Amino acid sequence: MERVVRRPAKLAGMVTPPGDKSISHRSLMLNSIAAGEAYVSGLGRGEDVVSTIRCLESLGATIEEAGLNSVRIQGLGSTMQEPEDILNAGNSGTSMRLLGGLVAGQDFLSVLTGDASLRSRPMGRVVQPLRAMGARISGRHGDTLAPLAISGGGLNGIEYTMPVASAQVKSALLLAGLSASGPTVLHQPALSRDHTERMMRAMGATVEEDGLTLTLDPASLRPIDVVIPSDISSAAFWLVAACCHPDADVTVAGVGINPSRTGILEALEAMGADVVLESQREEGGEPVADLRVRSCQLTRTEIGGDMIPRLLDEVPVLAVAACFAEGTTVIRDAQELRIKESDRLAATASLLTALGARVEEQADGLVIHGSGRLHRARVSSHGDHRLAMTMAVAGLAGDGDVTIEGAESASVSYPTFWEHLDSLTGASSN
Ligand code: S3P
């Protein structure tokens, strides 16, 4: 699908992006291994979450529609069923890595695969520690790439120093640790999203936190009903579009503002953005707010270190903000972006260059010289949902038509993205 995006005279209105993708995956997986029934509402309906649902059903969980964006999950307790066929995680790294940890604790054979992008992404980071816990795992390319064949069960707890601040690796090991024979101790290099720890605690597990060290005791989970807030990583597109558009007043409603995810708000604030947090509240154990954003003149910033895991998926769209900022913005320590759904450092640099920006790609980041404008171009999403939406933001704020090939990939995380764009630009009547 191709979409042409151009700057509207005004960008205004209110949108509620889909439920947080990370929390959606976790609420489905954890409730599937809890003993009993749970309702999850506000579930994100992107293709990644659908992949997780399909895999969990193949493992014996019952997941039924229960109204708009709600499902009823009949959990199996700690013992799942051997899947008859290969589990397909599609484009979703979170599905593959977290489910890898989940099935490592199960006394049967599971084979996990995904699409071409996912089959090229590194799995050694979960294979190695899961093996140390006792799982038997083989895969392509020296057991570092999917498909992965996992014979699980009989795990022991380990103490493990994580080489990267990855919430997917952390969560895979915590999921495996639930059924291990002793505690699992994880030393993190920096804080990454903590939704797994929060939800496990709410379901009765003990996860102690001492600085960046987590200790999980083996546990059986009790089901919990979850109300999922809107995804801040999806909200980020509208936040940046409204900052950079000359006449914008946009409210993004019900957004999760868990501190492990709010790096984007801090970065935009440092750039002088006009973002107001309205109606702050707590829903389902996660802090939530409506975010009101108006046009403003942004200024340069520097982003790196511990901030990166807190705005990881927002770096491409933040690079668009940097194009409209006064001065030169520097993003460093972001080498993890090279192994996402695409090489997001190389792709963001080349896409923005095609739009007339002055961007230098570094080994671990980007240097962006703000010019206040982007021009017309035909670009490709690289099959990456976040790049498709980042290019749409460039079109909303820049001077010329941006024609996006592969625009349909937005539905991996945000199936209603184009509808919401039409509503904020006045192209639709809702
Ligand atoms: C996620 C963790 C991050 C993030 C991804 C979702 C999660 O990946 O990029 O979109 O839900 O745990 P890494 O753990 O690989 O950094």
Q: What is the mean pLDDT of the chain?
A: 97
Residue identified by tokens 């941006």 is 402
pLDDT at 283: 82
pLDDT at 57: 98
Of ligand 1's listed atoms, the one at least distance from the Cα of 339 is: 15
pLDDT bucket at 430, cuts 50 / 70 / 90: very low
Residue identified by tokens 């005004």 is 10
Pick from 22, 29, 94 the residue to mutate for probing ligand 1's pocket: most ligand atoms within 8 Å of its CB.
94
> Over 80: is that where the pLDDT of 355 sits?
yes
pLDDT at 140: 98
Report the CATH number of the 21-227 domain: 3.65.10.10
Nearest Cα residue to atom 11 of ligand 1: 22
DSSP state at residue 314: G
pLDDT bucket at 108, cuts 50 / 70 / 90: very high
* pLDDT tens string 198-207: 999 999 999 9
Ligand 1 pocket (Cβ < 6 Å) reads: 22, 93-94, 166-168, 171, 193, 312-313, 336
Q: Do domains 2-19+229-429 and 21-227 have the same CATH topology?
A: yes
Share of the chain above pLDDT 90, in %: 98
Nearest Cα residue to atom 16 of ligand 1: 166
d(CA 106, CA 152): 5
Q: How many Å is the Cα radius of gyration of the chain?
A: 21
> Over 50: is that where the pLDDT of 170 sits?
yes
Catalytic residue among 313, 364, 399, 401: 313
Beta-carbon neighbour count of residue 315 at 10 Å? Answer: 26
H-run or E-run covering 2 = strand 2-5
Of ligand 1's listed atoms, the one at least distance from the Cα of 26 is: 11
> Over 60: is that where the pLDDT of 379 sits?
yes
Query: Distance, CA 94 to ligand 1 centroid (Å)?
Result: 6
pLDDT bucket at 220, cuts 50 / 70 / 90: very high
H-run or E-run covering 70 = strand 70-74
Active site residue 422: no
pLDDT at 428: 79
Of ligand 1's listed atoms, the one at least distance from the Cα of 171 is: 12
Pick from 47, 168, 338 the residue to mutate for probing ligand 1's pocket: most ligand atoms within 8 Å of its CB.
168
pLDDT at 284: 72
Q: Which two tokens stand for residue 118?
A: 């996912």
Share of the chain above pLDDT 70, in %: 100
Task: State pTM to two decimals.
Answer: 0.98
Does 430 or 196 have the greater pLDDT score? 196
d(CA 125, CA 172): 10
Query: Distance, CA 117 to ligand 1 centroid (Å)?
Result: 15
d(CA 286, CA 194): 11
Nearest Cα residue to atom 9 of ligand 1: 313
Of ligand 1's listed atoms, the one at least distance from the Cα of 196 is: 12
* pLDDT tens string 68-106: 999 999 999 999 999 999 999 999 999 999 999 999 999
> Over 80: is that where the pLDDT of 179 sits?
yes
d(CA 212, CA 61): 33
Structural domain spans, the chain: 2-19+229-429, 21-227
* pLDDT tens string 287-304: 999 999 999 999 999 999
Query: Distance, CA 334 to ligand 1 centroid (Å)?
Result: 13
Domain 2-19+229-429 has CATH 3.40.50.150: no
Query: Distance, CA 32 to ligand 1 centroid (Å)?
Result: 21
Angular region, 305: left φ>0, alpha ψ -120 to 50, beta rest: left
